[in-house]
Chains A and B, each alone.
Chain A
Amino acid sequence: MNGGNKRYTGNRFWLTACTLVFGLGLLVAMAPDFTGGKKPRELTPDDNPVIKKDSAASIKAFASVYKVLMSPRCMNCHPSGDVPLQGDDSHLHIMQPTRGKDGKGISAMKCANCHQPANTPGLHTPPGNPNWHLPPADMKMVFQGKTPRQLARQLVDPEQNGHKDLRKLLEHVNDTLVIAGWHPGEGRTTPPLPYAEFKKAWITWIENGAYAPKK
């Protein structure tokens, strides 16, 4: 019904669209260079963090991310059970404190009862952070036992990552509790990459599309 009108409308649409595209292109070409030749600014949380889709670069970067997240300094607080892990061999935390609803422990066994706002001086004393905790009981964010694919998929799923969109996930690399992994206190190894390299890999992974490896 009304095929002739449809064709006419379609032609007008394409004519208008082409004019607009040409006009916009001309405007962009004529626009002055406001950057003054400087390097492009760093991505901010207001930007869409995924700036290009490059699955190869993303997956390559995630290999570095995975190595760090599965190291004891990160994984020990992302256990598969409700008791945190401890030490470079990731044994169950002595005293067996438990997660509790909010991830901050229960009654006389709350994380902050021993874990102070800063590291306690001395060998193997409790490391510190003002917000020491495990993920909460309703979203355990388990790292222990996860394959790279499982972990990557979990990290980008707001239903499993603490309701973080990609922008918030990008910011998460600056969380003081994440950074604390590189300041673990005397007698503890640090993650296998320096923090700056980890941060770069994290950003590269997300900015290129936050792809999950095949396995």
Chain B
Amino acid sequence: MLMATVSCKINGKDQTLEVDPQMPLLWAIRDVARLKGTKYGCGVAQCGACVLHLNGEAVRSCVTRVTRAEGQKVVTIEGLSENNDHPLQVAWQEIDVPQCGYCHSGQIMSAAVLLRENPNPTDQDIDRAMGGNICRCGTYPRIRKAIHRAAEMLRSGGKRNGTDL
């Protein structure tokens, strides 16, 4: 198999990955960079469990080829904040959002982009932005509540969005 070298910045650290160039970014992150917070859900960009940030955008890493990350910045749930204290993470704990928890790294990564672009989202803004993240436990009302709470924290001077890492 022809291997490729992909150099990128993952959670603020320069990394070089020796990978099959066809490999989805998800597997490079989980199996090569050994960051297991990003989850595999559907494999076809339908559920949002695999969302991470590529140059600040909430890409679905299961359909994103690893080569797209060459020279780019990748942020996973592990890199969203230094001490798991991003307002979204704090709000998620405060409101006890997850049930099984499997989809929530993707939920939080999507919500982080929403708050970066819209620091004061309405319920409709949240529904529109989060429509691509499915939760089989049905925690949507708590997700929405936590996003409002995090927005409130950000507005009152909480930690800034960590996607610029």
* Complex interface: chain B residues within 8 A of A16 (CB): none
Chain B's closest residue to A123 (CB) is: B44
Q: Does A110 contact B (CB under 8 A)?
A: yes
Contact of B128 among A98, A112, A114, A124 (CB under 8 A): A98
Among A32-40, A60-68, A89-97, A194-202, the one that faces the other chain is: A89-97
Query: In the complex the two chains form, what is the Cα distance from A109 to B131 in whole Å?
Result: 8
* Complex interface: chain A residues within 8 A of B59 (CB): 112-114
Q: Are B128 and A113 in contact (CB under 8 A)?
A: no
Contact of B68 among A107, A117, A126 (CB under 8 A): A117
Q: A106-B117, A108-B51, A108-B114 are in contact. Are A120 and B44 (CB under 8 A)?
A: yes
Q: Are B131 and A96 in contact (CB under 8 A)?
A: yes
Q: Are B111 and A125 in contact (CB under 8 A)?
A: no
Instruction: Mark contacts of B108-152 with chain A using CB atoms, 8 A cut-off: 1 yes-contact digit, 0 otherwise.
Output: 011101101110000000001111110000000000000000000
Instruction: Name the distance in Å between B165's Cβ and chain A's nearest Cβ.
Output: 17
Q: A106-B117, A107-B113, A126-B63 are in contact. Are A94 and B44 (CB under 8 A)?
A: no
Count A interface residues, CB 8 Å. 20
* Complex interface: chain A residues within 8 A of B129 (CB): 106-109
Instruction: Name the distance in Å between B111's Cβ and chain A's nearest Cβ.
Output: 7
Q: Are B44 and A108 in contact (CB under 8 A)?
A: no
Q: Does A116 contact B (CB under 8 A)?
A: yes
Q: Does B86 contact A (CB under 8 A)?
A: no
Q: Does B64 contact A (CB under 8 A)?
A: yes
Query: In the complex the two chains form, what is the Cα distance from A114 to B44 in whole Å?
Result: 9
Q: Does B46 contact A (CB under 8 A)?
A: yes
Chain B's closest residue to A113 (CB) is: B59
* Complex interface: chain B residues within 8 A of A4 (CB): none
* Complex interface: chain B residues within 8 A of A122 (CB): 44
Residues of chain B in range 94-119 having any CB-CB distance to chain A below 8 Å = 109-111, 113-114, 116-118
21 A-B pairs with CB atoms under 8 Å apart are A95-B46, A96-B131, A97-B132, A107-B110, A107-B113, A107-B117, A108-B111, A108-B114, A108-B129, A108-B130, A108-B133, A109-B131, A112-B59, A113-B51, A113-B58, A113-B60, A114-B45, A120-B44, A120-B63, A126-B45, A126-B63
* Complex interface: chain A residues within 8 A of B110 (CB): 107-108
Contact of B65 among A96, A116, A126 (CB under 8 A): A116
Query: In the complex the two chains form, what is the Cα distance from A112 to B117 in whole Å?
Result: 16
Q: Are A94 and B46 in contact (CB under 8 A)?
A: yes
Chain A's closest residue to B107 (CB) is: A108
* Complex interface: chain A residues within 8 A of B63 (CB): 114, 116, 120, 125-126
Query: In the complex the two chains form, what is the Cα distance from A163 to B118 in whole Å?
Result: 30
Q: Does B57 contact A (CB under 8 A)?
A: yes
Query: In the complex the two chains form, what is the Cα distance from A182 to B79 in whole Å?
Result: 40
Query: In the complex the two chains form, what is the Cα distance from A131 to B65 in whole Å?
Result: 17
Query: In the complex the two chains form, what is the Cα distance from A110 to B59 in whole Å?
Result: 9
Q: A106-B117, A107-B114, A116-B63 are in contact. Are A124 and B44 (CB under 8 A)?
A: yes
Chain B's closest residue to A94 (CB) is: B46
Q: Are B132 and A109 in contact (CB under 8 A)?
A: yes
Query: In the complex the two chains form, what is the Cα distance from A117 to B59 in whole Å?
Result: 13
Instruction: Name the distance in Å between B94's Cβ and chain A's nearest Cβ.
Output: 21
Q: Are A116 and B68 in contact (CB under 8 A)?
A: yes
* Complex interface: chain B residues within 8 A of A95 (CB): 46, 131-132
Q: Are A112 and B131 in contact (CB under 8 A)?
A: no
Instruction: Name the distance in Å between B45's Cβ and chain A's nearest Cβ.
Output: 4
